[in-house]
Each structure stands twice: as structure tokens, then as C-alpha cells.
Structure 1
Amino acid sequence: MLTNKIVFITGASSGIGALAARLASERGAVPILAARSEAKLRRAAEAVPGPHGICPLDVGSEESVEAAVLKVIEEYGRIDILINNAGYGRFETAEEMDLADYEGIMNVNYLGVVRCTKAVLPHMRRNGSGQIVTVASMAGKFATAKSAGYAASKHAVLGFMNSLRQELHGSGIAVSSINPGPIDTPFFETADPGGSYIQNVSRFILPPEKVAREMVRIMETRRDEIDLPRYLGIVIRLYGLMPRTADKLARRFLNLK
């Protein structure tokens, strides 16, 4: 189903973005790997078996995003699938985190999604087809201590995607969200430099290959949303029914940062 699809992937220089590019290529797609570091993109692209491209891009800059999207459209003629994957976090208390860190996280995690989506969407509109896939987070549905900035950005992402899905109904453009729990990727080099959180969640952490496979699967099925691991999706639904009880449990068992 992905044969010759042009798949534009942000945050593709490492982690699940780089893996998704390789797996999508194996399914016949033409992935375009995008991230800030051209050197890292070139290293990641070495693992991509089929035709592909690289595109240096800073999702925090409107000018960079617009220039990158135009370059890809000029070279390949279209973007069939946009994967909004770029993002980062910091695990600090709401009181201790600097305002600049809140602004930076929101600028990349949320406004980066908005910038890329708005740049690609007119081209998809003209073609009457396409898909916008965004890697959000379980933190966008269930926030825990020391993740206020990151969780807020992912709540915003899910709100944007849910609204966009309604707006694009019937347009031929699918809108999909992926909500993973913690993943064993370089994300934690910034979010958790001391490594304590990784140790505390080692039993639950997701292998990046599993998440990348789900990213490819959602491209093929065009599902609206998927929660990973799936049992956490059930927990989220229970939270909606019993928020006070869930908050008590979160304080006791999920304060792991």
C-alpha cells in the first residue's frame, strides 16, 4: 500500500523517525528524512534500502519549514504522507522549569506540528488525497508529575489533530495520531540526563522498533488513532471515568521521574 508514496518524516535523524523511514522504504515508500542536522540525516539514511531523500529542516522556524516543503514538492511533485515526529521534553517540576524551556518545548512539539501541517496541507488539498500522521504521546492524555511542559505540548497536539480530523472529513486526507508511552530512544538524553526515569520504567519502556512498525501500519490502514502499549489506552479510558481515583493512583505509582 505504500508503493511509491512520498513520505516526509520530521525528526528522522535518529530514533523512531529513522526506523520508520527504513521500514517504510521496505514497504515500497520513498521516505524523505528531515531534521536539523544534515550529518545525522546522512548517517540515518544509510540504513534506508530504497530510493529516499534527506532534507535539513528546523520545525521551530516557519521559513525553514516552508522552504523544505517547497523543495520536496519541486523535486518529487507531491507529499503523500506527512509524519510529524520531531519533538523533545524536559522532566522538571512546573515551578523549577524555566519559562524559556516551556516556550521551546511548545514551539517545537506543538507549533512545529502546526507549521509542517499548514505547509503541506494546501498541496494535499489540491491533490484531493494525503495523510497527516503525528506522533503525540500518552502524556497528551494523562499527565504525571515533572512533565507539565511536555504534557501540555502533547495535549495541544492532540487537540489540534482532533479538530483537524473533523475539518478534513470527506476531503480524502486522513488524520492520524500515535500516542506512545516511554520509548527507548535518544529522547531521554535531554529529558532525563541522569537516567533515573529510564531505570524506573525499564519494565514498561517500548522498543523503538515496535513503535516504528506501528507508524508504518497506521500509514497503511489510515486509522484515526492508536495508543501504545494498548493496555495503557484502557487505563486512559478508565481515567476519563474516574479521574479522582486515577490521580490518587498516579501519585502513588506513576511519580517515577
Structure 2
Amino acid sequence: MNKQVKGKKVLITGASGGIGEYLAIHVAREGGIPILVARSAGKLDIIAEKIEAAFGVECPWYKADLSMDAEWKDVIDRICYEHGSIDGLINNAGIAVFDLVAESNWQDIDRMLSVNVKSLFRTTHQLLPHFLQKGEGHIVNIASQAGKIATPKSAVYSATKHAVIGFTNALRMEVEPKGVHVTSVNLGPVRTNFFQQADPTGSYEKSVDKIMLDPNRVARTVVGHLFTKQREINLPSWMDSGSKVYSIAPVSMEKLMQKQFNKK
């Protein structure tokens, strides 16, 4: 249990399924108020109804396309106006399209940058003054182990997550002395619908099936660390160990893991 979540308002992006849905469930289970954001109003409505019925907490939701900056800015303003002070933010929304750079579609590249990076910056930038004014709050950014180890066909996705990790690390140093916690969650493959867009062929998902993380476990771990001074959450731990080896000996690691790296 995490007693610090009770009564806290936590904004969760990408909350219409997968990790985001489970994050909302675990926040509500701990007595917090999850505020959900995603593109699918129908899915959000169903999730909110289930959460309210199961846990007896308010579960407001907002439809927004985070790739549309002006629209998302207006929705954030509306959320702040309607709910007053927000206590926590989980930047969970993210997309991927795995492809060789030379064969990539520019629209896919632009959308990954917009959702994975720009919208995360936007949300953080608009909510941060509220946290600093209160002298408390928690920003959790869902990054990826891909931000630490890039692989073929994920150049753009890895770059977006590398940006998230860099942003998170710098932001932490800026605001922790002022009472605001900042956490990076670096994940390996998770068993969600993420891969339906990232790799429609299903070949990569099949190749990593045995090591895929359970989204419920991921969400439970993240919520368990809400409003605590947790620098990073790395899952699975063995993959994080691999990223540390890679940072020391990248050439040897790329040669050794070439077959694995090319499974996308």
C-alpha cells in the first residue's frame, strides 16, 4: 500500500488502456483520484464507470489528441480550472512505429515526436508552476529502456525516449530542492496493444513474448512509488543491467547482441 496517494489528484495521459488503465485502477485503489486523458472517449467512459463503481472515488476523464498541441493546451487549462490543484502527473501516453529510417513515413516520425516528446513537455510545463507554488508534487515520465539502448528500426522511438530521460534527469535536479519529485520509468516490452501500431506484422511481439512485462505489475510498481523520492524505476532489472554494460562497452555489446537487436 501507498498511503500517500489517498486523496491526491493524479493526471494520467494515455489512460484508455494498457499501462494507463492499470495506473488509474491502482491510484483509485489507494484512495486517490485519477484524472484520465486519451483520444478514445468511449473507452475512457467505460474505465471511469468501472473505477467509480469498484472503489467509490471520482474518476473524471477528458478526450484529447496529444499530438495536437493547441488542443492539448486547452484541455490542460480546462483540467486545472475544473479541478484546481493537481497533485501528481503521470506522462504515460506514447506511440511507436518501428521502421528503418530510410523507409519511414514522415507523418509517423512527426506524430512520435509530437506525442512522446512535445506533449510530455507541454503537460509538464503547464503543471509545474502549480507544483512549485505548493512546494510539493510528483511528475512521473514513462520512458523506455529503448531510451538507453537504441536498436535498428527504432531510431525515432529511441530518440524520443532518450529525450524523455534527459528531460527527466535535468528537471529532477531543478525542482527536487523545491519539494517536487521527478521519476523516470524505463520499461522493456510490455504486454499491451502498443505493438499493434509499432509492428503490425506481429513478428517483434512474438520474438519478445517470453520477456514481456505485465502492465498490471508495472502500474502497481509505479503507483507504489508515487509521492516518494524515487529517481528511476527500471523494469525488468536485468535489462537495466544490460544498459549499464552498453554504456561502458557499446561496440562489444552491439556485436554480441546484433541478432537480438535486429529482431524488429
TM-score over 0.5 for the alignment? yes
Residue of 46, 56, 67 corresponding to 1:43: 46
Q: Are the aligned partners of 2:207 and 2:263 in contact in 1 as well (CA < 8 Å)?
A: yes
Gaps of at least 5 residues in structure 1 are none
Per-residue CA distance 1:29-73 (angstroms, 9 max, x = gap):
000011122112112223313221111122223322332222222
Query: Which residue in the other structure is 1:52 paired with?
Result: 59
- Measured in 2, the distance between the counterparts of 1:144 and 1:110 equals 19
179, 199, 208: which is aligned to 2:215? 208
SS at match of 1:169: helix
Q: 1:250 corresponds to which residue?
A: 257
3-state SS of the aligned residue for 2:101? coil
Q: Partners of 1:155 and 1:236 in 2: how far apart?
A: 13
What are the within-5 Å matches in structure 2 for residues 119-130 of structure 1? 119-130=126-137
SS at match of 2:141: strand
RMSD: 1.3
Q: Matched residues in 2 for 1:104 and 1:66: separation?
A: 17
Q: Which amino acid aligns with 1:22?
A: I
Q: Indicate if the aligned counterparts of 1:65 and 1:119 stay in contact, CA closer than 8 A.
A: no
- What CA distance in whole angstroms lies between the structure 1 residues aligned with 2:193 and 2:46? 15
* Distance in 1 (alpha carbons) for counterparts of 2:190 and 2:132: 33
- How far apart in 2 are the matches of 1:42 and 1:253? 40
CA shift at 1:224, angstroms? 1.1
Which residue number corresponds to residue 21 of structure 2?
A: 18
Deviations 1:71-122 (A, max 9, x none): 2222222110010011100111111112222111111101111011011111
Structure 1 residues 215-248: Cα deviation after superposition (integer angstroms, max 9, x where no partner)? 2122143301111001111111111111111111
Aligned residues: 257
AA partner of residue 70 (structure 2): E
TM-score by length of 1: 0.96
Structure 2 residue aligned with 1:241: 248
SS at match of 2:43: helix
Contact 1:59/1:115 (8 A) holds in 2: no
Alignment partner, residue 110 of structure 2? 103
Structure with the higher fraction of residues in helix conformation: 2
Aligned mate of 2:202, from 177, 191, 195: 195
In the alignment, which residue of structure 1 is the partner of 2:228? 221
Partners of 1:143 and 1:130 in 2: CA distance: 31
TM-score by length of 2: 0.93
Q: Superposed, which structure 2 residues align to 1:160-179 within 5 Å? A: 160-179=167-186
- Please give the residue correspondences for 1:140-155 in structure 2 after superposition, counting only pairs within 5 Å: 140-155=147-162
CA distance in 1, matches of 2:50, 2:227: 21
Query: 2:239 maps to which residue?
Result: 232
Q: Deviations over 1:165-215 (max 9, x none)?
A: 111131111111101100111111100111111110011111111111122
Following the alignment from structure 1 to structure 2, what is the Cα–Cα distance between the partners of residues 44 and 91?
Answer: 29
Contact 1:59 1:116 in 2 (8 A): no
Answer yes or no: is the 8 Å Cα contact 2:192–2:215 preserved in 1: yes
CA distance in 2: counterparts of 1:199 and 1:3, whole angstroms: 39
CA distance in 2, matches of 1:129, 1:222: 11
- Contact 1:132/1:174 (CA < 8 Å) preserved in 2? yes
